[in-house]
């Protein structure tokens, strides 16, 4: 899987890379705030379902162009596990 993905450093992110990176940051913050308020449904929505939707949008818009960036895919995996399961990796 990693072989078919780009591995550009952060300073060389494309427009869509930066949008996906920002989406993850916003959703992590929303998930953390919901957990702090004990709003577990909202935390799960932001930390899992909305995060999946952001990944799907990123995959779709990069499919015809340069492709997905491994750095962001790896971050998505770690953040998705941490936020969706409440492990504090957000």
User: Model confidence over 61-78: pLDDT tens digits?
Assistant: 999 888 999 999 999 988
pLDDT at 41: 93
All residues at 6 or more sequence positions from 54 whose CB lies less than 8 Å from its CB, including other chains = 20, 23, 24, 27
pLDDT digit string, tens, across residues 19-64: 999 999 999 999 889 989 999 999 989 988 999 999 999 999 999 8
Q: Print the domain residue range for 49.
A: 13-85
Token duo for residue 43: 């935390």
Residue 90 lies in a domain: no
Residue 69 lies in a domain: yes
Nearest to 30 by CA among 48, 56, 4: 48
Residue 1 lies in a domain: no
Counting every residue written for the chain, the total comes to: 90
**Residue 34: C-alpha distances to residues 18, 39, 50, 61 (Å):** 24, 5, 14, 29
pTM equals 0.84
Residue 42 lies in a domain: yes
Cα dihedral 78/47/65/7 (nearest 10): -20
Number of domains making up the chain: 1
């Amino acid at each position: 899987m990693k072989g078919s993905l780009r591995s550009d450093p952060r300073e060389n992110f494309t427009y869509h890379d930066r949008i996906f990176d920002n989406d993850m940051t916003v959703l992590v913050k929303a998930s953390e705030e919901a957990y702090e308020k004990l709003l577990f449904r909202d935390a799960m929505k932001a930390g899992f379902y909305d995060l999946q939707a952001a990944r799907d949008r990123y995959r779709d818009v990069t499919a015809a162009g340069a492709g997905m960036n491994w750095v962001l895919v790896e971050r998505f995996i770690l953040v998705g596990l941490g936020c969706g399961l409440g492990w504090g990796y957000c």
